[in-house]
Amino acid sequence: MTQTHPGTSILLKLTLAAILIFPPNLVFSPLGASGSLPEILALGLFVVWLMEAFLGLRHSAWSSHPGRTAVLVFVFASCLSYASLFLGFSGLSTSLARAGADRWMLLMVAIMGIVFITSETVRDLDDVMSLARWVLAGGAVCAVVAVIQFATHTNPVDLLKALMPGFVENSEASSFQARNALMRVAGTTLHPIELGVVSSMLLPLAVWRALYDRTGSRTIHWGIAVVLLVANALTVSRSAMLALAVAIAVMVPALPPIPRKWALVTVPVVGAGLFVTVPGLVSAMFNSVADSSSDSSITWRLDDYPRAESLVAQKPLLGGGPGTYMHLSMKDNFDNQYLLIAVTMGLVGLLAFAVYVSVPGLAALGVARWTSDPSLRLLAATAGAAGIITAVSSATFDSMSFQVFALLYPFFIGISGVVGRLHRSDGRGSGVARTALNPSKFIPTAIH
């Protein structure tokens, strides 16, 4: 069993909360684009992991799992494309291209730090709950900021700039975007689409925490789930609606019987309540779907395919180099991570990315299908939902270009490995039953 210093767990918790609280476009000036506080902390996790492995405190073989393998496959493909760029095979080895590739590889290191430390540090469901509290605290801050942005058209994120000396804005966040009669918001993320997808990934985790957390206020626990749902709606995003539908479709069947019955009743009621209480939300959502044929965001996405095909044909195997694509206008940007990967990392990278976004979630759903422990089942479905959301949403926006999303998904990959290990600890998946809680004790009395 891995012996982990308590400070490692604290660093992991701080990293997970920072991902959702501190805007990724605020970077430590000397470090450039890779110098956001969340990425610095995530890189620190990888350094800690290396040091503990060197000192013999980690024995990573015991924590091997499909998600970890998927990460290594993706990292290996990134290294191949990176080497191709620097050896001059891609023909794009300019200073800007090399800088972009360097940033990409640092992101890969940060992803490995989160995945490895999460999967190797967490021992049981209580440890997962401890991490979930920090992740959801960050998610609550992000969602509350979005609600404030929507209600007041002011940005609380601006207050952070004065509290972070040495950090400067590396890029402009799309905190406000008009859509029909509404002003959609981004919270502490870079774009409303990112907020919508991230809030959908966090919602099942918030429900799991609300059902099984022994400590704290049940009102606050359920309140976090509600505010995440509200933040999702305030993005007025088709991608957010799709991600939310995936989250609900995966989560509800994995709920214990009583909560599942109530979910089937409350989900449509809550949805209707949102549309009634938020002025203009109904028309904005309807128009965003009904006017899709004339929507530039749709037509530009369709134009991405022939352009990507042309670029991939030039460098089909390893692409032009990871992180090297530079768009001259918004129309030239790839709003599809699969196409962007194919252009920058070739067909090899595309296959590796498909493994990265699909294998961890499918492995977690396998645990949810076969475990007999209700708490573990819902947690596994939570990780599975995050994986499916990642796979689906990556076709609707360039997901890896958004750091909150790119660093949050590895946490769920780590959890995918944890639930797999806990399930394997007993052939029937009941080896963790001693840590499971009775959800009926933690649901508001009115639901019984």
Alpha-carbon distance 195 to 404, whole Å?
9
Host domain of residue 272: 6-447
168 domain-assigned: yes
Question: In the 8-state DSSP scheme, what is residue 5?
Answer: -
* Residue (of 50, 54, 44, 53) closest to 16 by Cα position: 44
- Run of H or E residues at 167: strand 167-169
Among 9-13, 188-192, 273-277, 389-393, where is mean pLDDT lowest? 273-277
What is the per-residue pLDDT for 273? 66
What is the per-residue pLDDT for 435? 44
- Run of H or E residues at 176: strand 176-179
**Position 74 pLDDT exceeds 90:** yes
279 domain-assigned: yes
1 domain-assigned: no
pTM, full prediction: 0.89
Question: Which residue would you say has higher pLDDT here, 443 or 426?
Answer: 426
Can you list the pairs that 306-313 forms with residues at least 24 positions away whose Cβ atoms lie under 8 Å?
307/332, 308/334, 308/336, 308/339, 308/340, 308/342, 308/343, 311/343, 312/342, 312/343, 312/346, 312/347
DSSP 323-344: T----SSGGGS-S-HHHHHHHH
- Indicate the number of domains in the chain: 1
196 domain-assigned: yes
The mean pLDDT of 409-423, rounded to a whole number, is: 95
**Position 44 pLDDT exceeds 90:** yes
Among 327-336, 372-381, 424-433, where is mean pLDDT lowest? 424-433
Neighbour-count burial of 172, counting CB atoms closer than 10 A to its CB (0-12 exposed, 13-18 middle, 19+ buried): exposed
What mean pLDDT is reported for the chain?
85
33 domain-assigned: yes
- Run of H or E residues at 185: strand 182-185
CA distances from 203 to 226, 302, 333, 345, 443 (A): 8, 30, 29, 32, 16
Alpha-carbon distance 209 to 179, whole Å?
33
Cβ pair 147, 227 in contact under 8 A: yes
* Residue (of 160, 164, 163, 165) closest to 175 by Cα position: 160
What is the per-residue pLDDT for 256? 92
293 domain-assigned: yes
